[in-house]
Amino acid sequence: MPRPRPPPPPPVTRRRRTAQEARDAILDAAERQLVASGPDGIRLQDVARDVGVSHPTVLHHFGSREALVEAVASRALDSLHDDIVAALRRAPEGEHQVAALLDGVCEALESRGQGRALMWLALAAPAGHRDDLRLRAQAEVLHATREARSAGRAMAPLEDSQFLVVLAASALLTQSVLGAQLLRGAGVTGAKAPARFRAWLARLMLAHVEREG
């Protein structure tokens, strides 16, 4: 007779969510952990406490820690991708197009720490496992725009547009991870330094495009 009645359990009333609500809440908490401490920093106990459930509940919904990490990583990358696509679509026409575009992507990378999440995952990935940065389409759009503008004049090769996209992605991603740290390290001061840097980068890219076609 092993303890037929454990000490009368405190008459707490359990909250019962739908499976979807529970999964979402758990993913939210896990994503915060991912951004803050990386995939290895995701602890079932912490996530559970954050959501207000016990850790077996997390396992009930995701099966294993590994599956949870996979789920949160997929969701974060998809959401980042969607945000970036939305930012690109939102970019206005005209002179300040590039600057606004960079600002939009920057917002997508930094608003919820998605840039950090991406970098964590890239570092932790077992040697090129996640290789879908999905920049190809953006490079092609940029190149098509340049072709339309050039109107038959000398035209830079496709690789030039690809490199431009890679350069912008590198700069914005690094900014989202290192924050103002890199700028401060170089001696740039002021609260608006990141914004100034983005504007400068936009001018640099624009000048390059106008020079090279």
Partner DNA sequence: GGAGCTATTGACAACCTTGTCGGCAGCTAC
Partner DNA sequence: GTAGCTGCCGACAAGGTTGTCAATAGCTCC
Binding site for a copy of itself (CB under 8 A): 37-38, 40-41, 116, 119-120, 122-124, 128, 131-136, 138-140, 158-160, 162-163, 165-167, 169-171, 173-175, 177-179, 181-188, 196-197, 200-201, 204, 207-208, 211
Structure tokens at 210: 């106008």
Minimum distance, C-beta of residue 136 to a copy of itself, in the bound complex (Å): 4
Minimum distance, C-beta of residue 122 to a copy of itself, in the bound complex (Å): 5
Identify the CA nearest to 105 among candidates 95, 118, 91: 91
**22 part of the interface to DNA, by CB under 7 A:** yes
Member of 27, 53, 105, 164 binding DNA (CB under 7 A) = 53
The three-state secondary structure class of 58 is helix
Helix axis angle for 97-110 and 158-178, nearest 10°, is 40
* All residues at 6 or more sequence positions from 65 whose CB lies less than 8 Å from its CB, including other chains: 42, 44, 59
The three-state secondary structure class of 133 is coil
Minimum distance, C-beta of residue 129 to a copy of itself, in the bound complex (Å): 10
How far is it, in rounded angstroms, from Cα 182 to Cα 122?
20
Nearer to DNA, 39 or 194 (CB): 39
Minimum distance, C-beta of residue 186 to a copy of itself, in the bound complex (Å): 4
